[in-house]
Amino acid sequence: MSYNLLKGKRGIIFGALDENSIAWKTAELAHAEGATFVLTNAPIAMRMGTINELAEKTGSQIIPADATSLEDLQNLVSQSVEILGGKLDFVLHSIGMSVNVRKGKAYTDQNYDWTQKGWDVSAVSFHKVMQTLYKQDAMSEWGSILALTYMAAQRTFPDYNDMADNKAYLESIARSFGYFFGKDKKVRVNTISQSPTPTTAGQGVKGFDGFISYAEKMSPLGNATAQECAEYSITLFSDYTKKVTMQNLFHDGGFSNTGVSQEVIEKF
């Protein structure tokens, strides 16, 4: 069912890897709701995934870009505005990566070069994306910029490792840049704090299955799926959420406000 919520809107979607990705599902839904957009991912991620399929399905062009490279981002933004025929109404930042996690380094035994790389890709890239959009004046008034995060930014999940710090930094950037984007350009900036979701990226975290079933038992409404996250994202790109900005929005079936649930008590 389509409501034409994004009719005539233009955007950029970062980070669609395969059909399990939240960014992938958001792109499909944005297309169904009338938006046109450019897809982008890091060249290496593009080789791993199936983004061409998505581009075909949604009639979108792909512009490869390393989100940590200002040069790539400047090219991405100016090309997108040209391809789409005007300023952008929405941008989804769905990027995260920890080399320490990938290579099995404990939080107490970081390789700091890897820490820095993960921080650049997962958090600072959001600042770089926004700074590029801001300097090029590429966003329409009442546009919407969104990044995806996780509750490990507020509470400790031991196996989430340095990604927790990356997400905390990401959320801070959303608030800080959100102020300037709101004041100067009338653009809103938010993060969605999503339930643990079985995406290709999510499953890289140690003990992930335990994570998911625990969150499921703790959340009164159960975990939010990738599809449901896409649906929430679309509402935040729509004109119905114009005054929502600088927020970290928990999309987690109530997990974040639950102390303990009956199911968890019974389990122990």
95 is in an annotated binding site: yes
Residue 172 CA to residue 247 CA, distance in Å, equals 10
Contact at 8 Å (CB) between 148 and 191?
yes
C-alpha gyration radius of the chain? 18
DSSP 8-state code for residue 214 = H
Greater pLDDT, 204 or 124 = 124
Q: Is 15 annotated as a binding residue?
A: yes
Q: Residue 202 above 80 pLDDT? A: no
What pLDDT, in 10s, does the model give residues 155-173?
A: 999 989 999 999 999 999 9
- Cβ neighbours for 71, distance < 8 A, ≥ 6 positions apart: none
pLDDT at site 48:
82
> Where residue 206 falls among pLDDT bands split at 50, 70, 90?
confident
For residue 118, pLDDT over 90 is answered with yes
CATH superfamily of 10-267: NAD(P)-binding Rossmann-like Domain (3.40.50.720)
Cα dist from 221 to 21, 64, 121, 150, 264, whole Å: 22, 38, 32, 17, 14
8 Å CB contact between 165 and 107: no
Instruction: Determine if residue 21 is labeled as part of a ligand binding site.
Output: yes
60 in helix, strand or coil? coil
List, by residue number, the catalytic residues.
150, 160
* Whether residue 21 has pLDDT greater than 90: yes
87 is in an annotated binding site: no
The reported pLDDT for the residue numbered 210 is: 85
CA distance 58 to 9: 14
59 is in an annotated binding site: no
